[in-house]
Chain A
Amino acid sequence: MIRWEFCCASSPAAHVFRPLKASERLTRPLKLFLQQNLINIDLLPQFLFILFSPVSAVFRDRDELRMNVNQQPHMASPYGQPQPGYQGYPQPGYGGGHVPSGYPAQYAPYNGPGSAYQQGPPQGMRGPPTSGAPPVSGAQSYSQFGQGETQNGPPPMGAPPQRPPVSQTYTPGAVNLSGPQPPFSQQFGAPPVSMQQMTNQMASMQVGSTAPSPAGPGYAPPSVSQAAMSAPYTPAAPPSFPPTSAAPSQPPPTEAVARPPPQSYYGAPPPAQQPFPNAVPPFSSTGPTQPQAPPPVSPQSFPQAPPVSQPPFSTAQVPPGPTQSYGGPLPPTQPSFSRPLLPTSQPSTFPAGPPPTSTPSQLPGVMQPQPPVSQPSPYHSGPHPTSTGFPPQVGAPPRPPFAGMQGPPMAPQGPPLASQGPPMVQANHVPPTQPGMPPGPISASMSGPPPQPGMQGYPPQQNGAFGQVRGPQPGYTGPYPGQPNYGAPPAAPAPAPPATKRLDPDSVPSPQASDMPPVQKTRHRIDPDAIPSPIQVIEDDKANKGSEPFTTGVRGQAPPLVTTKFQVKDQGNASPRYIRCTAYNMPCNSDMAKQSQVPLAAVIKPLAPLPPDETPPYLVDHGESGPIRCNRCKAYMCPYMQFIEGGRRFQCGFCSCVTEVPPHYFQHLDHTGKRVDCYDRPELSMGSYEFMATVDYCKNNKIPQPPAFIFLIDVSYNAVKNGMVGIVCQELKTLLDYLPRENPDVESNIRVGFVTYNKVLHFYNVKASLAQPQMMVVSDVADMFVPLLDGFLVNVSESRVVIESLLDQIPEMFADTRETETVFGPVIQAGLEALKAADCAGKLFVFHSSLPIAEAPGKLKNREDKKLVGTDKEKSLFQPQVSFYNTLAKECVVQGCCVDLFLFPNQYVDVATLGVVPTSTGGSIYKYTYFQASSDQERFLNDLRRDVQKPMGFDAVMRVRTSTGIRATDFFGSFYMSNTTDVELAGLDCDKTVTVEFRHDDKLSEETGALMQCAVLYTSCSGQRRLRIHNMAVNCCSQLADLYRNCETDTVINFFAKYAYRSVLSSPIKNVRDSLVNQCAQILACYRKNCASPSSAGQLILPECMKLLPVYLNCVLKSDVLQPGADISLDDRAYLRQLVSTMDVSESHVFFYPRLLPLQKLDVESISVPVAVRDSEERLSRGGVYLLENGLNIFLWVGVNAQQELLQNIFGTPAFGQIDPNMTSLPALDNPFSKRLREIIESVRAQRSRYMKLMVVKQEDKLELIFKHFLVEDKSNNGGASYVDFLCHMHKEIRQLLS
């Protein structure tokens, strides 16, 4: 249902926006299309739209990387004007599509079939049984639609529609098409409807389940498109596939990744066609995936269910085969499919052609099937009949209609591809069902095809489809009447709520649908493969951007994704490792910004570590007078400073103030106005560099003392008993040799001190001259002070003997302790006082075990009250329960005292309160719940080692300066602010990130762009005062399209997450969630309204750059903080909340969307890591072994049917039952697989700032519940929506905004 159309192009508006650019490319395809398709004049507009949309989509896709879940183009164009225009055009289809009412009646039947279809694939799973009662399946799909998400499935349908158009365009454009074209035309005649339906379905899928139907209708007219589609497909299929495989192949593999293909397709129309096939496959794949086991059945069921549809289905299924191939990418799918359909071929195809190939292969397969499917014809005919027949069925289950719709589409697709357009469409539809995948793929495919005739043709269809999946159906049926219904349905579907929404959608298509059991609806409605796939996007980005170094010199250019490995060349802007922006094209004025709602933010990681092949920032010393700065705004010398008057003055790029160049800094200018020494000076040519700070930049105008590390160890009963004390002491003995230092050859200047505590504090005098350490007990915790000065902070090498003696004795001394109470506030006070006394900055490492209930400042009470969860008072649980720590934090910051907290709780410790100081001082919190030496030691020690060793700065102040027009208004992270501009960080380590939000306070100019300069003043670990400067320039745009084309979803999500996580402190969580959804909807709606080609409202159109926004946002929404499950403790939530606040983009990305690696695909010979699969249970094969990591945990999931050899290789035992689920590390076995696996685990760990403990999860074990929590595309136990469901919901929101 959901199409991956390249939204941009699809809408006429888009064309308007960028008429010239698109024009050339457009013209030819258009002509071709027209010629080939013999389009009616009446229809022309539509076609134009269609054409445009695909084309534009192509462009945009490339530019923007936008993926419309739905084929926006289609949808958009139709919808945009659609109802009127469309109706006119596709009259029946569109009209129908738009008007839900129409749908119900006529379409209902269609839907029926459609649903059947859709279900087919998805239900296929269920199908088997369903087959008996396709309607049911349909119902399910409907229900899904109703839910919205399910309907997303339908959107794929849209995709098919798009294809049709595309196919059309392609046909003209693409050679393949040409071949196909004829068929298309023919097909169109008949298929059109199906196509439309397909598209509609797709759309509807995307939008709401119902939507499709309308689209169907609308499309019906688009039938042409269908034809096109079919045409392209059929023809394309065989030939195109190969090509596709080549180009698109990649995309497909990724995940039926529509986008990639689209791009490629766009690039080459012909390929586009291929995409289509691909797209189809994806769909099918989805189908398969779900069905995996059942796949075969499903097909069967399908066939059975709707006789007519059946054929299509069967075909569809056949396509599924291909889809499977897509699924192929998804291991499970493939197998299943392979079995049913062309197992061998598929696999072969897959393997043969890398992912892409697989798709192609699949495609071919599909094609073949489709052709054979000639059934399509049956479909068409079938569809109609089916539809009719379905309607009833549908009637029962709303989905059925969809299913029917889809089904039909599928069938059509199959057929279309094979025989006629419609089949194609159906195929598309089918894919659509898979929405998630399809959308991407579809769009891609769409785009792919679109370029070709298919593309163009499709777009419209898609639009239609998106608008209303049913559309197509109606169209099929004749459906136009149904169209109206479709229109309605979409809307209905939009309303995510399964029941009602489904009902709505269903109602539109067919009331019966609503009746369908919700459960069924929930899942299979939308083909997950048809919706945008994060994996696909990631892989595409790797493929496209991973090979060449990223140069920072070009303003406004978005860097590769965080998941892509790339090299950076600093050419005047800060590396993305330091700064990532949400938008690289900022709106010129606040109105635009407000309209788009796209957050303008930068995620800054000032001390980010660089890979070895990149040069660390140069250190610039301007001598005693200090760095050269602008007189007015105090910005530091940087490449944006314009030298004038022969070099005697410079004009500030930020505030335009003119400043004299000091004589010692004077240099002549060359003929271009650049200083001749420009490239000799980092501050004139680089984005990032450091200045030596002079004494003026030091606290109290005194050169700072070298910093100190103070270790404060809880020695209460719990801490001793769980082994923490012993471990820490043992580790410190060696760890102290690895204190941070600037020059590895020199000893670290950092001094260390030791404190242990329970309800009193023990300071240790470890002066080198002592024979034995001396312990000083401070029991006056009410009024903390440091009992000693000399001998507390010592140089490690000088006092080594005494320190070792101390560390040996601490565990002994407290081995028999019975003290269970602890204090906490005084502990930090103690460290703070020690640093004050020594007059230096530093860091406290606090190892703490329990809630501080001993009588002392900062004493806490247990306030864990789960009853508050979900109420308006829930926010109070995230707030500190006493203000003591806020005050203390402030004092810490003043002194430059950074606090890192290691928690070892056995019960509630109130992280929300204990974490105040660490999070205000640039510190970190580590939490080891139920710490056990045996199993958690490694994780803790690795964290500790890294935490101690990592490079960091002390007593830092960060200021972000911006060019006139914008202003840094809000900051997120772990720091303290005493005014509105200076971010004060008592400590700033290489993992800490600050997210800065910008707002307009004036207009920006497109010429100069927007500049920002982040200056961090800090004390290095050797006690040197330095300034690190990061400069960043981004473009400014007056067109929203530019904004949407140059933004980065991962960064946006990072911002959203931090924003939301902070908001929970002040607002009820429900409001926070709502506002997130709302803002996201506004962003997408704005795009839809202003950038995407007009299409039916039922179509979901996503900008290429933001097509993953819904899935990621959903992950944020269902995260433990915002949607807690019953088993998650308040501490964990508070912990995660604070953790996220300092995450950089890469961490937040993997945190919210964990990486899931299929190990059975591991190639022991290569150094590459298997391509990840999507986080859904459906992607897990019972025969596989998977590695999942989210930056905090690593899980090794073992399927019950995992091959013995695999198990033998990994665990040293062939028996599943003998695997010890408690192991925390894999046995070191002497086989390549084991070695390679352990290497991978190590390398994954190395990428993260925290050591991830390995947990082995056996399928069907109770631990699997935990694991499933990380399968974020699935519905979660907490009530978190599945991706598909959420997408539907999102669509509903968008539609509401647009209406």
Chain B
Amino acid sequence: MATYQEFIQQNEDRDGVRCSWNLWPSSRLEATRLVVPVSCLYTPLKERPDLPPVQYEPVLCSRANCKAVLNPLCQVDFRAKIWACNFCFQRNSFPPSYAGISEVNQPAELMPQFSTIEYIVQRGPPTPLIFLYVVDTCLEEEDLQALKESLQMSLSLLPPNALVGLITFGRIIQVHELSCEGIAKSFVFRGTKELTPKQIQEMLGLMKPATSGQQGKPLAPHDAAASCRFLQPVEAVDMNLTDLLGELQRDPWPVPQGKRPLRSTGIALSIAIGLLEGTFPNTGARVMLFTGGPPTQGPGMVVGDELKTPIRSWHDIQKDNARHLKKATKYYEALANRAAVNGHSVDIYACALDQTGLLEIKCLSNLTGGHIVMGDSFNTSLFKQTFQRVFSKDYNGEFRMAFGGTLEVKTSRELKVSGAIGPCVSLNTKGPCVSDNEMGVGGTCQWKICSLTPATTLALYFEVVNQHNAPVPQGGRGAIQFVTQYQHSNTQRRIRVTTIARNWADAQSQIQHIESSFDQEASAVLMARLGVFKAESEEGPDVLRWLDRQLIRLFMFHLRRSPFLQVFNNSPDESSYYRHHFVRQDLTQSLIMIQPILYSYSFYGPPEPVLLDSSSILPDRILLMDTFFQLVIYHGETIAQWRKAGYQEMAEYENFKQLLQAPLDDAQEILQTRFPMPRYIDTEHGGSQARFLLSKVNPSQTHNNLYAWGQESGAPILTDDVSLQVFMDHLKKLAVSSSA
């Protein structure tokens, strides 16, 4: 038998699932003692080049409250043409189309290797993708110019039949009509007045007089293109829109000295969502917000327009000094929920040196599966390439994005689902498998994920409900089925079904087995998500305390120091940004986020990963650190000097040149695949940017203990944080000491 390592890897490759435990304790009590809950990370749209979708509908269990999909775990009576649902044990007959099945002629969904299978279903007319650009015009001229170019470029990346729309905002909001010839036409809204969706639709002229008896022309049945002049196929308005973007002016309203420009982000988003909601409900659509600063007026404003009032900091928030925080957050949450209900997602591209109010706005993306990209300027490659990557295509030449997903979880009787953490909202579907004990977004067995990428990963938490006195039969298996319905980027409706099963184990007798089935990485990420989720919703110190209590038995030193939980030295926006990405990336990426990877390049051998420790910082090394958000190349002191001296230019030092090039190449590789594009930093010893590295490494050497350690050690870190050694010492002490 393969090792657990291999088993886990295999499972992940096939199903996109990583479980915290790969053997499940058979009773509730035992499960509770394990601290780390039975849970898993699930990547619904994990790329499976080897998995061709089948062109028919799934077969469902006929029990009304089960509706599980036929899967390899089902008992099948080929003669009677009957199958038994492995979740509710209902016996179902196959539909007529399955008349020809037999042991040798099984449908794909019954084969073990198709524990994950994708169906293409025909439901209604295909709806094109919709991209609605919401563009802030209160930008610096060059920023705006760069943004305009990016947007124009993006048009060429869109599929020709995709619908595209443009809303610009500043002090006022303009919804551009794209269908008109000659005069560029736009509908304008003021940024200070909250409008109901109905008002918005009325004002945009989207309310069709249902009974208008225009003779001659029978009302075209909700002709999408006709009913909405604001969303038009790219192929039709390509030129128009390019011109329009080209003529986009900076917000013309004068900004007096000492003021921020008036930016009506709140209303602009409200209108964008209202517009989609009125025209294309339940259709995949992306609202892409490009903003260069915080909302400063109207509902959803984050900070006033007085420059003398700085935007809220964590300090302000803790002191309850952030005037607009609650109101704005509430406003955006309401918006996010509206968007989510209709399956529309919101991306946020915020590029500014200062905060842009992500903290308040983030829920729009968090709840709808949209992207958040944070940069310093639209005129940076970070933004440009990230934005470009949004439209990247997979091996089939199709967008790596899916819309309007619904994830349903079904469990066998011994399990119930407690909740999910990820870019999803609850659909509030009660069912037999819903646990009362909520973890993350719970109370439901269905979640809406408005936008998915192949990397989108949810954490799902389960509760073992089997009572101790009702043991599971030996060899029994618990099963979980994930049913994800979504709109593929080629506008097909698809359903992906993943069914997994794990053995039950009696904790008392098989504790060793259970221990060995523990997936440390997955658990770390799962717990981290729980922590982040709590951090989002609860007071900061409390979360740390909870984490300490929960993680005391795990070494999650780095997580504790990570920006996901630590707000020190991070703005609220940054925290939001980091957390946003943390709760949606897959396991590998999540791990990188928790514990950055550090590679060392030297003449002494091939590149090697080294400890994320200050002791790794040596003069004759080049270090490459990947924190997910940043990619830092650090040249040691000596290397830096050599480089300065220009040895790499000399033929005889070709090797040095190669050494210098190696980390660059590796970095490039990471940059190619990473979304969002990490901040790329090339620095050296003593460089100001070196702080990115220094802040991450374990401060094993600080100004406090500099001389206690040997001379050769790396660079000292000026910090009061405890080092890993201290942390571990303390941990050990606690672990050994009597149960406190």
Residues 350-369 of chain A, each 1 if its beta carbon lies under 8 Å from chain B, else 0: 00000000000000000000
B residues less than 8 Å from A771 (CB atoms): 243, 247
The 3 closest A-B pairs by CB, nearest first: A779-B203, A790-B252, A787-B188
- Are A779 and B187 CB-contacts (below 8 A) given A760-B203, A771-B247, A785-B172? yes
How many angstroms from the CA of A785 to the CA of B202 in the assembled complex? 18
B residues less than 8 Å from A764 (CB atoms): 183
A residues less than 8 Å from B172 (CB atoms): 785, 787-788
Given A772, A778, A809, which contacts B188 in the complex, CB threshold below 8 Å?
A778
Q: Quick one: closest B residue to A777, CB to CB?
A: B187
Question: When the two chains form their complex, are residues B203 and A775 in contact, meaning their CB atoms are under 8 A apart?
Answer: no
Q: Enumerate 23 A-B pairs (CB-CB under 8 Å) in ascending A order.
A: A760-B187, A762-B185, A770-B247, A771-B243, A773-B183, A773-B184, A774-B184, A774-B186, A774-B247, A775-B184, A776-B188, A777-B177, A778-B187, A779-B187, A779-B203, A780-B199, A783-B190, A788-B188, A791-B249, A806-B183, A809-B182, A812-B182, A813-B180
Given A770, A777, A783, A787, which contacts B193 in the complex, CB threshold below 8 Å?
A783
> Is B253 at the interface (CB under 8 A from chain A)?
yes
The distance from the CB of A1231 to the nearest CB of chain B, in whole angstroms, is 50
- Interface hub of B180, B188, B189 (most chain A Cβ within 10 A): B188
Besides the known contacts A776-B185, A809-B182, 11 further A-B residue pairs in the complex with CB atoms under 8 A apart: A764-B183, A771-B247, A776-B186, A777-B177, A777-B186, A777-B187, A779-B187, A779-B205, A780-B189, A785-B172, A787-B190
Q: Quick one: closest A residue to B195, CB to CB?
A: A780
Residues 1151-1168 of chain A, each 1 if its beta carbon lies under 8 Å from chain B, else 0: 000000000000000000
- Which of under 10, 10 to 19, 20 to 34, or 35 or more describes the interface residues of B? 20 to 34
A residues less than 8 Å from B186 (CB atoms): 774-777
Given B180, B184, B193, B243, which contacts A780 in the complex, CB threshold below 8 Å?
B193
How many angstroms from the CA of A809 to the CA of B174 in the assembled complex? 21
Q: Quick one: closest B residue to A767, CB to CB?
A: B249
Residues of B194-245 contacting chain A, CB below 8 A: 195, 199, 202-205, 214, 243
Question: When the two chains form their complex, are residues A774 and B188 in contact, meaning their CB atoms are under 8 A apart?
Answer: no
A residues less than 8 Å from B203 (CB atoms): 760, 779-780
A residues less than 8 Å from B204 (CB atoms): 779
- Interface hub of A772, A780, A785, A791 (most chain B Cβ within 10 A): A780
The distance from the CB of A350 to the nearest CB of chain B, in whole angstroms, is 67
The distance from the CB of B364 to the nearest CB of chain A, in whole angstroms, is 23
Q: Quick one: closest B residue to A776, CB to CB?
A: B188
The distance from the CB of B264 to the nearest CB of chain A, in whole angstroms, is 11
> Is A519 at the interface (CB under 8 A from chain B)?
no
> Is A38 at the interface (CB under 8 A from chain B)?
no
Question: When the two chains form their complex, are residues A774 and B185 in contact, meaning their CB atoms are under 8 A apart?
Answer: yes
B residues less than 8 Å from A791 (CB atoms): 249, 252
Question: When the two chains form their complex, are residues A775 and B183 in contact, meaning their CB atoms are under 8 A apart?
Answer: yes
A residues less than 8 Å from B182 (CB atoms): 772, 805, 809, 812-813
The distance from the CB of A636 to the nearest CB of chain B, in whole angstroms, is 37
- Which of under 10, 10 to 19, 20 to 34, or 35 or more describes the interface residues of A? 20 to 34
Residues of A747-803 contacting chain B, CB below 8 A: 760, 762-764, 770-780, 783, 785, 787-791
How many angstroms from the CA of A805 to the CA of B181 in the assembled complex? 13
A residues less than 8 Å from B249 (CB atoms): 790-791
A residues less than 8 Å from B214 (CB atoms): 818
B residues less than 8 Å from A777 (CB atoms): 177, 185-188
Residues of B160-182 contacting chain A, CB below 8 A: 172, 174, 177, 180, 182
How many angstroms from the CA of A760 to the CA of B186 in the assembled complex? 12
- The B interface is mostly helix, strand or loop, or mixed, namely mixed
How many angstroms from the CA of A789 to the CA of B254 in the assembled complex? 9
How many angstroms from the CA of A779 to the CA of B249 in the assembled complex? 22
The distance from the CB of A137 to the nearest CB of chain B, in whole angstroms, is 67
How many angstroms from the CA of A77 to the CA of B737 in the assembled complex? 137
A residues less than 8 Å from B177 (CB atoms): 777
Question: When the two chains form their complex, are residues A809 and B183 in contact, meaning their CB atoms are under 8 A apart?
Answer: yes
B residues less than 8 Å from A772 (CB atoms): 182-184
Question: When the two chains form their complex, are residues A788 and B202 in contact, meaning their CB atoms are under 8 A apart?
Answer: no
The distance from the CB of A833 to the nearest CB of chain B, in whole angstroms, is 10
Question: When the two chains form their complex, are residues B187 and A788 in contact, meaning their CB atoms are under 8 A apart?
Answer: no
- Are A789 and B253 CB-contacts (below 8 A) given A773-B183, A780-B193? yes
How many angstroms from the CA of A787 to the CA of B172 in the assembled complex? 6
Q: Quick one: closest B residue to A784, CB to CB?
A: B190
How many angstroms from the CA of A1070 to the CA of B249 in the assembled complex? 62
Question: When the two chains form their complex, are residues A776 and B187 in contact, meaning their CB atoms are under 8 A apart?
Answer: yes
How many angstroms from the CA of A76 to the CA of B620 in the assembled complex? 132
B residues less than 8 Å from A780 (CB atoms): 188-190, 193, 195, 199, 203
Q: Quick one: closest A residue to B205, CB to CB?
A: A779
A residues less than 8 Å from B243 (CB atoms): 771
Question: When the two chains form their complex, are residues A813 and B252 in contact, meaning their CB atoms are under 8 A apart?
Answer: no
How many angstroms from the CA of A789 to the CA of B137 in the assembled complex? 14
A residues less than 8 Å from B187 (CB atoms): 760, 776-779
B residues less than 8 Å from A806 (CB atoms): 183
How many angstroms from the CA of A762 to the CA of B187 in the assembled complex? 8
The distance from the CB of A959 to the nearest CB of chain B, in whole angstroms, is 35
Question: When the two chains form their complex, are residues B202 and A779 in contact, meaning their CB atoms are under 8 A apart?
Answer: yes
Residues of A811-854 contacting chain B, CB below 8 A: 812-813, 818
The distance from the CB of B56 to the nearest CB of chain A, in whole angstroms, is 47
B residues less than 8 Å from A818 (CB atoms): 214
How many angstroms from the CA of A780 to the CA of B205 in the assembled complex? 11
Question: When the two chains form their complex, are residues A763 and B185 in contact, meaning their CB atoms are under 8 A apart?
Answer: no
Q: Quick one: closest B residue to A810, CB to CB?
A: B183
Given B188, B199, B205, which contacts A763 in the complex, CB threshold below 8 Å?
B188
A residues less than 8 Å from B205 (CB atoms): 760, 779
How many angstroms from the CA of A1120 to the CA of B182 in the assembled complex? 48
Q: Quick one: closest B residue to A818, CB to CB?
A: B214
How many angstroms from the CA of A764 to the CA of B185 in the assembled complex? 9
How many angstroms from the CA of A771 to the CA of B243 in the assembled complex? 10
How many angstroms from the CA of A813 to the CA of B185 in the assembled complex? 11
Q: Quick one: closest A residue to B186, CB to CB?
A: A776
Residues 242-261 of chain B, each 1 if its beta carbon lies under 8 Å from chain A, else 0: 01000101001110000000
The distance from the CB of B215 to the nearest CB of chain A, in whole angstroms, is 12
B residues less than 8 Å from A779 (CB atoms): 187-189, 202-205
How many angstroms from the CA of A312 to the CA of B185 in the assembled complex? 86
A residues less than 8 Å from B254 (CB atoms): 789
Question: When the two chains form their complex, are residues A789 and B183 in contact, meaning their CB atoms are under 8 A apart?
Answer: no
Question: When the two chains form their complex, are residues B252 and A775 in contact, meaning their CB atoms are under 8 A apart?
Answer: no
The distance from the CB of A417 to the nearest CB of chain B, in whole angstroms, is 81
Residues 714-725 of chain B, each 1 if its beta carbon lies under 8 Å from chain A, else 0: 000000000000
How many angstroms from the CA of A809 to the CA of B181 in the assembled complex? 10
Question: When the two chains form their complex, are residues A774 and B195 in contact, meaning their CB atoms are under 8 A apart?
Answer: no
How many angstroms from the CA of A771 to the CA of B253 in the assembled complex? 21
How many angstroms from the CA of A34 to the CA of B205 in the assembled complex? 95
The distance from the CB of A680 to the nearest CB of chain B, in whole angstroms, is 47
The distance from the CB of A696 to the nearest CB of chain B, in whole angstroms, is 25
The distance from the CB of A599 to the nearest CB of chain B, in whole angstroms, is 50
B residues less than 8 Å from A774 (CB atoms): 183-186, 247
Question: When the two chains form their complex, are residues B183 and A787 in contact, meaning their CB atoms are under 8 A apart?
Answer: no
B residues less than 8 Å from A813 (CB atoms): 180, 182-183
How many angstroms from the CA of A1188 to the CA of B247 in the assembled complex? 57
Question: When the two chains form their complex, are residues A785 and B190 in contact, meaning their CB atoms are under 8 A apart?
Answer: yes
How many angstroms from the CA of A818 to the CA of B203 in the assembled complex? 16
Q: Quick one: closest B residue to A778, CB to CB?
A: B188
B residues less than 8 Å from A778 (CB atoms): 187-189
Residues 59-85 of chain B, each 1 if its beta carbon lies under 8 Å from chain A, else 0: 000000000000000000000000000
How many angstroms from the CA of A815 to the CA of B252 in the assembled complex? 31
- Interface hub of B183, B184, B243 (most chain A Cβ within 10 A): B183
A residues less than 8 Å from B253 (CB atoms): 789
B residues less than 8 Å from A762 (CB atoms): 185
- Interface hub of B177, B195, B202, B203 (most chain A Cβ within 10 A): B203
- Interface hub of A778, A783, A809 (most chain B Cβ within 10 A): A778
The distance from the CB of A198 to the nearest CB of chain B, in whole angstroms, is 78
How many angstroms from the CA of A813 to the CA of B184 in the assembled complex? 11
A residues less than 8 Å from B188 (CB atoms): 763, 776-780, 787-788
How many angstroms from the CA of A367 to the CA of B675 in the assembled complex? 119
